[in-house]
């Protein structure tokens, strides 16, 4: 009996205590505000005010300095900063060119043009008789073109085939082009070897060439006359003139015309170099610049399938070449 009474008394006391606690708590619904007002409240202290000197010692948001991620996580390793978009000029300068060749010619066109020299060079160096009977002059043009294109590859502002070995290739094919000016036993032997090597290079084979210096002068690498010959006979008379003569020719030969227009632009750029004769003549340089610019215009017209625009550019190319030939002929 005593045990039961004690349990009841204990229960009553617990209920009474719970009720007192509920009364003491603030009423969130607002119903108990009158009772809460009878209690003595102790308001919190106002937030401190800091002067500018103190505030300036802290960051507005620490995450701006800490970066992403959770506190305590391993720090991310920063990669190289993304290069600024400068149209390829910086990379071109780094490879020794100082000019973004991609503005004039595409990697695919460079590769196609080099491949296209294999068959004619094989024919021109087939026998000593063929070579000495005039084949050397044609080989000179083709080797000069190959050397020029490998020099462009060396300086190209982007990925292009054969770039790793371009310095050596530029030197050996350039020397072959210069030596083909005469048809001798020695020049034939060299031309035959280089022709076979070019065929292997195009197939993807590895060939050994003497080490060459990256620096070079355009006039020493490729003589200007063979470049002019290539530009006049195939670049203008066949491509720019014939393939823009009517809609049928234009449509049928668009891909080849685009390659030739890009090649004309490269030749126009190369012959402006100060190392060439007349390279310091303002009128000559302006004519070469006109050739370069109108060749770019021709290439853009081909891409846009605009025959009238292409015909206009071809006419201006012809005019620049004619004026140049009248006033600036040279030997070599």
List, for residues 269-287, the tens digit of each pLDDT value: 999 999 999 999 999 999 9
Say if residues 235 and 262 touch (Cβ distance below 8 Å). Answer: no
Q: Angle at CA 269, nearest 5°, toward 263 and 275?
A: 130
Span 132-177, pLDDT tens digits:
999 999 999 999 999 999 999 999 999 999 999 999 999 999 999 9
Say if residues 67 and 76 touch (Cβ distance below 8 Å). Answer: yes
- Residue 100 scores a pLDDT above 50: yes
15 inside domain: no
244 inside domain: yes
Half-sphere exposure of 293 (CA within 13 A, CB side): 9
- Residue 300 scores a pLDDT above 50: yes
- Residue 96 scores a pLDDT above 50: no
Q: What is the dihedral of CA 190, 192, 198, 203, to 10 degrees?
A: -140
72 inside domain: no
The pLDDT assigned to 93 comes to: 37
113 inside domain: yes
37 inside domain: no
Q: Are residues 177 and 289 in the same domain?
A: no
Q: Are residues 205 and 98 in the same domain?
A: yes
- How far is the C-alpha of 51 from the C-alpha of 71, rounded, in Å? 29
Q: Are residues 212 and 236 in the same domain?
A: no
82: alpha, beta or left? (left if phi > 0; alpha if psi -120 to 50)? beta
Residue with tokens 């126009």: 268
Question: Closest Cα to residue 224, out of 323, 148, 169?
Answer: 148
Residue with tokens 């012959």: 271
Helix-, strand-, coil-residue percentages of the chain, each rounded to 5: 65, 0, 35
Mean predicted confidence (pLDDT) in 304-329: 91
The pLDDT assigned to 22 comes to: 46
Q: What's the structural domain count of the chain?
A: 2
Question: Closest Cα to residue 166, out of 154, 157, 180?
Answer: 154
76 backbone dihedrals φ, ψ, rounded to 5° = -75, 145
- How far is the C-alpha of 158 from the C-alpha of 141, rounded, in Å? 27
Angle between helices 254-270 and 282-303 (to 10 degrees): 160
179, 198, 218 - which closes a domain: 218
Burial annotation 209-243 (CB, 10 A radius, 16+ → b, else e): beebeeebebbebbbbbbbbbbbeebbbeebbbeb
69 inside domain: no
Identify the domain containing residue 172 by its residue range: 94-218
185, 218, 251 - which closes a domain: 218
Radius of gyration of the chain (CA): 40
């Amino acid at each position: 009996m005593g045990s039961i009474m004690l349990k009841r008394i204990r229960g009553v006391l617990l209920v009474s205590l719970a009720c007192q606690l509920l009364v003491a708590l603030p009423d969130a619904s607002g119903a108990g505000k009158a009772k809460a007002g009878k209690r003595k409240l102790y308001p919190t202290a106002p937030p401190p005010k800091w002067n500018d000197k103190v505030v300036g010692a802290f960051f507005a948001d620490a995450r701006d300095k800490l970066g992403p991620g959770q506190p305590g996580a391993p720090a991310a390793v920063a990669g190289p900063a993304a290069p600024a978009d400068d149209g390829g000029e910086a990379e071109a300068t780094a490879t020794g060119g100082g000019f973004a060749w991609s503005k004039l010619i595409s990697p695919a066109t460079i590769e196609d043009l080099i491949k296209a020299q294999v068959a004619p060079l094989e024919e021109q160096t087939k026998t000593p008789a063929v070579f000495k009977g005039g084949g050397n002059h044609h080989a000179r043009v083709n080797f000069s073109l190959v050397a020029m294109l490998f020099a462009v590859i060396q300086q190209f502002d982007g990925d292009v085939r054969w770039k790793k070995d371009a310095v050596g290739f530029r030197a050996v094919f350039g020397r072959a082009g210069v030596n083909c000016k005469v048809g001798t036993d020695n020049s034939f032997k060299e031309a035959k070897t280089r022709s076979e090597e070019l065929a292997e290079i195009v197939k993807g084979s590895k060939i050994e060439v003497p080490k060459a210096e990256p620096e070079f002068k355009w006039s020493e690498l490729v003589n200007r006359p063979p470049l002019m010959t290539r530009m006049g006979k195939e670049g203008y008379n066949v491509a720019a003139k014939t393939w823009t003569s009517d809609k049928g020719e234009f449509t049928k030969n668009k891909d080849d015309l685009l390659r030739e227009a890009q090649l004309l632009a490269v030749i126009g750029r190369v012959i402006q170099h100060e190392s060439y004769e007349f390279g310091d003549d303002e009128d000559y340089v302006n004519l070469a610049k006109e050739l370069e610019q109108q060749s770019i215009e021709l290439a853009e017209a081909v891409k846009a399938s605009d025959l009238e625009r292409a015909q206009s550019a071809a006419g201006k190319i012809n005019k620049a070449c004619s004026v140049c030939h009248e006033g600036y002929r040279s030997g070599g």
